[in-house]
Amino acid sequence: MRRKRFQRGCLRKVKSRDRWRWIGKYYEKGGSKTRVLGYCARMSESAARAELQEILQPINEGAGFGQVREDAR
């Protein structure tokens, strides 16, 4: 199995329902995840990036360690 790596995630500015929002993208448990971080009018880019890093902190704590297969005997 592939080992886990440290990730920064992807921060994007997306227009939805006539308002701009910050969207954070990252991987967890082998699948991609997307999270709405907040409105661009209320949150700066650096604040959105800091919030995304808070989300990724528990995931990145295990980075660098090998994954154990569940069906291994």
Give 68-73 contacts, CB < 8 A, sequence gap 24+.
69/1
Instruction: Assign domain 10-60 one CATH number from 2.130.10.10, 3.30.160.390, 3.50.40.10, 3.40.50.10540.
Output: 3.30.160.390
Beta strand 31-39 with 10-16: parallel, antiparallel or unpaired?
Answer: unpaired
Cα–Cα–Cα angle for 53, 56, 58, nearest 5°? 125
- As a whole-number percent, the residues of the chain with pLDDT over 70 amount to 81
Task: Output the pTM of the full model.
Answer: 0.76
Would you list the domain boundaries of the chain? 10-60
Round to whole Å and give the CA distance between 25 and 32: 7
| Least confident window among 1-5, 16-20, 55-59, 61-65 | 1-5
31-61 pLDDT, tens digit each: 999 999 999 999 999 999 999 999 999 888 8
Whether 2 shows a pLDDT value over 60: the answer reads no
pLDDT score recorded for residue 51: 96
Whose tokens are 């005997």? That residue is 73
